[in-house]
Amino acid sequence: MVSIRDVASRANVSIGTVSKYLNTPHRVAPDTKKRIGKAIKDLGYMRNEAARQLRAGESKTLAFVALELNNPFFGDVADAMERRAAQNGLFLFIVSSNGSPEREGQYIEMFAQQRVYGVILASGMTRQRELDLLFTRRIPTVLVDAYGKTDRFSSTSVDDFLGAERAVTHLIEQGCRSIAFIGGEVQIHQIAERLRGARAAVDAHSGVRLTIIPTVERSVRAGLAAGEHLLSKGRQDLPDGIFAANDSLAIGIMQAISAGSDIRIPEDIAVVGYDDIDFAASAAVPLSTVRRPREVFGRSAVDLVRDQAESAEPLPVRSIVIQPELIVRQSSRRT
């Protein structure tokens, strides 16, 4: 493997000069510059990033830990972050925790070991252990959608409690009295918030019941399975309103219902999802949902990290909270 040393000797200069060429080229004489450039090309030299990092101690790599990538919502957010990162001269590494806190922990540890530029956490299930790690190491960290979870990190989030409350209140206004919350994995912070909001809405109206149906994943497939499970019950046990933890789930459930029964949406069961992914509007029955702005989300998370990283002294914690918007479509419109 060819190193800076080889380049130096081939160009008849010292190692220091080659390094200068690499980092502050304007401080190298034109003639020398040419020689070094040629040597690099001839040898096919490529800087060893590990060595650079070790010595310089800084990195331009921003890490984004997503909960799962099969949800298009995260894909869109990731793409938005990538654009913003590029504008700031940063690189964005995305990892998927695939729903496992242990795995996420491994990744965070690796990022800490790499001394990355910063970390954006959107898994909603980061363990205290890793949060402590990031905090004590002073690694610029931003939490996505963990509103109120911590006073140590900056965050961007949508007020999921409010969003869920609005969604369920809407269902109740449409006449629903038995509401099922699907996707109740309370490990995940966002989901827990949505459940809390749903319950608040239900509690505010007498005569309304809330049932919780957990799922393993939050994919279309999981929604299908949940829907089929639901249908296997007696007709009288069915809810008349469904609030799903995200759109993928909702779409899966609606598909199961329309394929496996003559139950009508929204007349017999009204459905509301969460996120407003692009596929929500084009579902068999266009899906009512709670919109979370993806572009803003991604952009502001990157900005928050950058501000922290570029600032000399520690910045005060900042929390950006975005209001969610209820989008009513056919799947819940009864009037």
Partner DNA sequence: CATCAACTGTGATACGTTTCACCGCATGCA
Partner DNA sequence: TGCATGCGGTGAAACGTATCACAGTTGATG
For binding to a second copy (CB under 8 A), which residues are involved? 44, 46-54, 68-72, 74-76, 78-79, 82-83, 86, 91-96, 98, 103, 106-107, 109-110, 112-115, 133, 136-137, 219-221, 248, 251-252, 254-255, 278-279, 281-286
Q: How far is the CB of 228 from a second copy (least distance, A)?
A: 14
- Do residues 172 and 209 touch, judged by C-beta distance below 8 A? no
Q: Determine the Cα angle at 68 with ends 62 and 73, to 5°.
A: 85
If 0-12 CB within 10 Å is exposed, 13-18 middle and 19+ buried, where does residue 144 land?
buried
Contact letters (x/-) for DNA, 230-259, by CB under 7 A?
Answer: ------------------------------
- Whether cis (ω within 30° of 0) applies to the bond prior to 286 is no
Buried b / exposed e along 198-211 (16+ C-beta atoms within 10 A): bbebbeeeeebebe
Closest approach of a second copy to the CB of residue 203, in Å: 32
Answer whether 231's CB lies under 8 Å from 252's CB: no
Minimum CB separation from DNA for residue 60, in Å?
Answer: 12
* Of residues 25 and 175, the one with the C-beta less far from DNA: 25
62 phi, psi to nearest 5 deg: -105, 135
Residue 7 or 167: the one with the smaller Cβ distance to DNA is 7
* Subset of residues 7 to 46 that bind DNA, contact rule: CB under 7 A: 12-17, 19-20, 22-23, 27-29, 31-32, 45-46
Residue 187 binds which entry of a second copy, DNA, none, CB below 5-8 Å type-dependent: none
Q: Candidates 38, 41, 42, 51: give the one binding DNA (CB under 7 A).
A: 51
| Helices 220-231/247-260 angle, 10° precision | 40
> Is the sign of the CA dihedral 143, 147, 150, 152 positive or negative?
positive
Choose the contact partner of 200 out of DNA, a second copy, none; CB within 5 to 8 A by kind: none
Burial of 280 (0-12, 13-18, 19+ CB in 10 A): buried
CB of 272 to a second copy, least distance (A): 16
**Closest to 271 measured CA to CA, from 279, 262, 280:** 280
Which one of residues 54, 86, 110, 321 is an interface residue with DNA (CB under 7 A)?
54
Smallest gap from Cβ 273 to DNA, in A, equals 47
309 near DNA, rule: CB under 7 A:
no
Distance between CA atoms of residues 101 and 200, nearest Å: 28
3 binds, among DNA, a second copy, none (CB under 5 to 8 A by kind): DNA
d(CA 335, CA 292): 25
Measured from the CB of residue 39, what is the shortest distance to DNA in angstroms?
12
Q: State the nearest-atom distance from the C-beta of 313 to DNA, in Å.
A: 20
The one among 37, 43, 47, 79 contacting DNA by CB under 7 A: 47
3-state secondary structure of 137: coil
Residues 6+ apart with CB under 8 A from 149: 143, 155, 189
By CB under 7 A, name the binding residues for DNA: 1, 3-5, 12-17, 19-20, 22-23, 27-29, 31-32, 45-48, 51-52, 54-57
